[in-house]
């Protein structure tokens, strides 16, 4: 495997990000972590677990992102006699990776963690930054820890078999990073290579992931534990989007929710005079070019439940939910929104 880059973390630690040219190279690299390991996967990704490696296979889906699944991981680790220097290897999408890292952060107050994303969304979102967690009380990722992985292994071949909807889910997060980037490399790459990206050419997908991760790395290295407000910009579209996901019982994908939420953020920013109209139009045009429908509205009968979901958002500060708006390319603005403004842009 080849190392792409190292992400510096608080206290002098690093997350090493590797690429694997093929599945055989990925499995060989994982097998080198030695004897005391536990691979965690789900029914969709169990085929990527190296032969003979101890593993726990979970049921797939957001509904499984709960305490019971984490307890299963911890019980399996205990049954294997794992120690603090043992390695938890998460192989799957964001649900598996978040829960594996969460369990590892709790086991003996912190065991080693390696993450292997097998979806585009998890490759560009769940792998870097150290956010772990589970859903609880109807709120997404409300319980968790900051616990960065020591290594991340990306194999673009794992994306070939993704359903179109799941692949597009990840594209939504990539597009978000393109808006947040301080330069136009990623947004230019997306505009120039749309057809090849949608066709999932390995080289184009890998370059897209690399550029996307560079944007996220810039934000998290300047704010590793989300204390300064810098890293909060990565939540562009998430406050609106998470509320929609909760309202729909998580039947829509995270990426679809985030893209819908970004459209609402651009609309709110334009309404308040924060987002220039031309920039908002160009951003929405890029979203549309990738086949996303952002015209969905919350019916009046569901507005109160939507607003309740907004109020549970974990990114509160001083009792207020802060939304990420855009003042221009790479210029996020965090601010609370009046309830009437929220209602006007979603209903």
What are the pLDDT digits (tens) for 103-122?
A: 999 999 999 999 999 999 99
The residue among 56 and 229 whose pLDDT is bigger is 56
Q: What angle do CA 269, 231, 103 make, to 5 degrees?
A: 125
192: its two tokens: 């120039």
Tell me what pLDDT residue 78 has. 97
In the block, tokens 């911890």 appear at 74
Tell me what pLDDT residue 315 has. 61
Cβ within 8 Å of residue 232, ≥6 positions away? 223, 226, 315, 322, 324, 334
Q: Is the pLDDT at 314 greater than 60, yes or no?
A: no
> Would you place residue 82 in the very low, low, confident or very high pLDDT band (cuts 50, 70, 90)?
very high
Question: 18-32, 307-321, 330-344: lowest mean pLDDT where?
Answer: 307-321
DSSP state of 11: G
- What percentage of the chain carries pLDDT values higher than 90? 69
Tell me what pLDDT residue 226 has. 67
Tell me what pLDDT residue 313 has. 72
223: its two tokens: 């704010």
Which one, of 192, 198, 166, 167, lies nearest residue 178 by Cα?
Answer: 192
Q: Is the pLDDT at 318 greater than 70, yes or no?
A: no
313: its two tokens: 């958002």
What are the pLDDT digits (tens) for 123-140?
A: 998 788 888 999 988 887
> Would you place residue 5 in the very low, low, confident or very high pLDDT band (cuts 50, 70, 90)?
confident
Q: Is the pLDDT at 167 greater than 90, yes or no?
A: yes
Give alpha helix (H) positions in the chain. Answer: 23-31, 67-79, 94-106, 120-121, 164-180, 185-192, 194-198, 202-222, 238-247, 254-271, 277-289, 303-311, 339-346
Cβ within 8 Å of residue 50, ≥6 positions away? 27, 28, 30, 31, 39
Q: Is the pLDDT at 319 greater than 70, yes or no?
A: no
> Would you place residue 52 in the very low, low, confident or very high pLDDT band (cuts 50, 70, 90)?
very high
Helix (H, G, I), strand (E, B) or coil at 54: coil
> Would you place residue 13 in the very low, low, confident or very high pLDDT band (cuts 50, 70, 90)?
confident
Q: Domain segments of the chain: what residues?
A: 2-160, 231-346
Tell me what pLDDT residue 331 has. 96
Where does 231-346 sit in CATH, by number?
1.20.1090.10
Q: Is the pLDDT at 306 greater than 60, yes or no?
A: yes
Output the pTM of the full model. 0.86
Mean pLDDT (the chain) is 91
- Provide the CB-side half-sphere exposure for 60 (13 A, CA): 10
2-160, CATH topology level = Rossmann fold (3.40.50)
- What percentage of the chain carries pLDDT values higher than 70? 97
Angstrom distance (rounded) from CA 38 to CA 60: 18
Q: What angle do CA 312, 317, 323 make, to 5 degrees?
A: 70
The residue among 54 and 35 whose pLDDT is bigger is 54
What are the pLDDT digits (tens) for 250-302?
A: 788 888 899 999 999 999 999 999 999 999 999 999 999 999 888 899 999 99
> Would you place residue 9 in the very low, low, confident or very high pLDDT band (cuts 50, 70, 90)?
confident
Which one, of 42, 22, 201, lies nearest residue 122 by Cα?
Answer: 42
Tell me what pLDDT residue 244 has. 92
Q: Is the pLDDT at 228 greater than 80, yes or no?
A: no
């Amino acid at each position: 495997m080849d190392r792409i880059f190292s992400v510096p973390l608080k206290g002098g630690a690093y997350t090493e990000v590797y690429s694997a040219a093929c599945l055989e190279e990925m499995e060989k690299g994982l097998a080198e972590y030695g004897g005391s390991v536990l691979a965690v996967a789900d029914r969709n990704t169990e085929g990527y677990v190296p032969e003979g490696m101890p593993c726990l296979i979970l049921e797939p889906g957001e509904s499984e992102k709960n305490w019971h699944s984490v307890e299963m991981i911890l019980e399996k680790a205990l049954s294997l006699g794992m120690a603090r220097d043992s390695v938890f290897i998460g192989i799957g999408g964001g649900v598996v990776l978040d829960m594996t890292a969460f369990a590892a952060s709790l086991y003996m107050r912190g065991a080693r963690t390696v993450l292997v994303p097998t979806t585009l969304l998890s490759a560009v979102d769940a792998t870097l930054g150290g956010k772990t967690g589970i859903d609880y009380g109807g709120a997404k990722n409300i319980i968790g820890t900051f616990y960065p992985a020591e290594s991340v292994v990306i194999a673009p071949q794992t994306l070939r078999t993704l359903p179109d909807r799941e692949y597009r889910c990840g594209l939504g997060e990539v597009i978000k990073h393109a808006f947040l980037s301080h330069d136009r490399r990623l947004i230019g790459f997306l505009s120039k290579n749309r057809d090849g990206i949608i066709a999932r050419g390995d080289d184009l997908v890998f370059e897209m992931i690399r550029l996307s991760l560079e944007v996220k790395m810039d934000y998290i290295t300047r704010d590793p534990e989300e204390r300064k407000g810098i890293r909060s910009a990565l939540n562009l579209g998430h406050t609106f989007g998470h509320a929609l996901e909760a309202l729909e019982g998580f039947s829509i994908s995270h990426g679809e929710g985030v893209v819908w939420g970004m459209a609402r953020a651009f609309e709110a920013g334009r309404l308040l005079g924060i987002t220039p109209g031309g920039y908002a139009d160009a951003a929405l045009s890029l979203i549309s070019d990738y086949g996303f429908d952002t015209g969905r509205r919350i019916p009046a009968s569901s507005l109160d439940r939507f607003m309740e979901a907004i109020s549970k958002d974990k990114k509160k500060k001083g009792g207020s939910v802060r939304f990420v708006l855009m003042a221009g390319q790479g210029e996020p603005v965090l601010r609370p929104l009046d309830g009437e403004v929220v209602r006007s842009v979603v209903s």
